[in-house]
Amino acid sequence: MEQAILRINNISGQLTGKCPFKAHGGEVGKCPYKVGGISGQNLDQSKAWSLINVTAGNVESVTPIKVLVTGAAGQIAYSLMFMIASGQMFGPHQPVILHLLDIPKMADALKGVVMELQDCSYPLLHSVVATTDIQTAFLHINVAILVGAFPRGPGMQRKDLLKVNVSIFKEQGEALNKYASRGVKVLVVGNPANTNALTALMKASDLPTSNFSALTRLDQNRAQSMISEKVGVNVDNVRNVIIWGNHSQTQVPDVNHGYILNCPNRGLIEPIQSSVNDDKWLNEQFIPLVQNRGATVIAARKLSSAASAANAIVGHVRDWLLGTKDGEHVSMAVYSDGSYNVPKGLIFSFPVTCRNGQWSIVQGLKINSSTQQKIDATTKELQEEKETAMSFLN
């Protein structure tokens, strides 16, 4: 497929957003910070990645960032790219150039996606490069969102799935190493996401390991939504839920360090455990509900999560590149440095804070014995996946 290029004039846009709350610790207490909303995205230049413009003005004078989406004709990407183009990922003052990659048999569908993007007339969408050529797709990109992967079919063993995807992410890691910007930020979404991210990282040896991550934000969002429903509060008030480990059924949802704003009354904060007040539900129902949510969605709609996955991708990248809110952490699968006794060299989901395009693993959290056992199990699974993937890679 010849690359298709779409150009749209830029006009500054405005979005509205809520002022983030600051809260410290998990004890019930009076919130010392003003509760209220402000206009705009409340973007802080001191927290944002240097390539992101957060200042209002004429966006035509702002250098667009190049964002690659693979599997671009698929259902997750279809939900995602319109969110990117509208400013939901990088804010209302940062133009983008979308690079869209898919396999040759999806070339016609990709042309249709380009037409729809054109028909939306997004002010922040500078241009679109739609292609089936990997060099064209990866050339000089600043952000790579690797959605495309080989899906697990009926009767397919996990080992067979890993073998196929190692081939895909080996090629994409090499392309990142050869063609992408040296500061490129990489988010792997296609499953098995943690090990696919590790495969790409291993083949992009010239790039920092800190540039790679895998998506567990969807699991975090699912967990927070379930807690909000259980307690009867707005989901935006549920903070610091953690997902440890693998994006699989061994993932470890952890609310032990989370809290709820404006609970039990406005201006107060309360630990999630105290608000739920049902340890049996937290331990026996909540965790498997989160772990199996993806399968439950498939059983209901006969298709995997798409819009919710796209929303999670936006949240993951936005927090990574624009910075996390004060007093909050988010879950990202990143390259382990040995924190919490997780072996170095795994892509493992940790609680992190982000500033200036860099993530930092939150340190010093106390892990109870029940949670530790689950973390050990997900660690074991990731080690086994790594060994299998490396056997194919080598």
User: From CA 246, how far away is CA 386, in angstroms rounded?
Assistant: 12
Helix (H, G, I), strand (E, B) or coil at 123: coil
Q: What is the pLDDT of residue 163?
A: 92
b/e string for 262-300 if b means 16 or more Cβ within 10 A?
A: bbeeeeebbbbbebbeeeeebeeebbeebbebbeebeee
User: From CA 371, how far away is CA 369, in angstroms rounded?
Assistant: 6
Instruction: Name the residue type at position 247.
Output: H
Give the active site residues. 247
Instruction: Name the residue type at position 7.
Output: R
User: From CA 234, how far away is CA 232, in angstroms rounded?
Assistant: 7
Q: What is the pLDDT of residue 24?
A: 38
The pLDDT tens digits for 44-58 are 878 999 999 999 888
User: From CA 290, how far away is CA 66, in angstroms rounded?
Assistant: 34
Q: What is the pLDDT of residue 38?
A: 29
The pLDDT tens digits for 337-387 are 999 999 999 999 999 999 999 999 999 999 999 999 999 999 999 999 999
Q: What is the pLDDT of residue 58?
A: 84
Helix (H, G, I), strand (E, B) or coil at 202: helix
b/e string for 17-51 if b means 16 or more Cβ within 10 A?
A: eeebbebeebeeeebeeeeeeeeebbbeeebbbeb
User: From CA 43, how far away is CA 315, in angstroms rounded?
Assistant: 14
Q: pTM here?
A: 0.89
Helices (H), the chain: 75-85, 107-120, 134-138, 158-179, 193-203, 217-231, 272-276, 279-281, 287-291, 293-301, 307-322, 369-393
The pLDDT tens digits for 111-145 are 999 999 999 999 999 999 999 999 999 999 999 99
Answer for the pair 390, 263: CB distance below 8 angstroms, yes or no: no
Peptide bond into 104 cis (omega under 30): no
Q: What is the pLDDT of residue 42?
A: 55
The helix (run of H) or strand (run of E) holding residue 100 is strand 96-101
How many residues would you count in the chain? 394
Answer for the pair 122, 88: CB distance below 8 angstroms, yes or no: no
Helix (H, G, I), strand (E, B) or coil at 166: helix
Return the structure tokens found at 59: 């966006």
DSSP symbol at 92: T
Return the structure tokens found at 15: 């979005």
Ranges of residues in the chain whose predicted pLDDT is under 70? 1-42
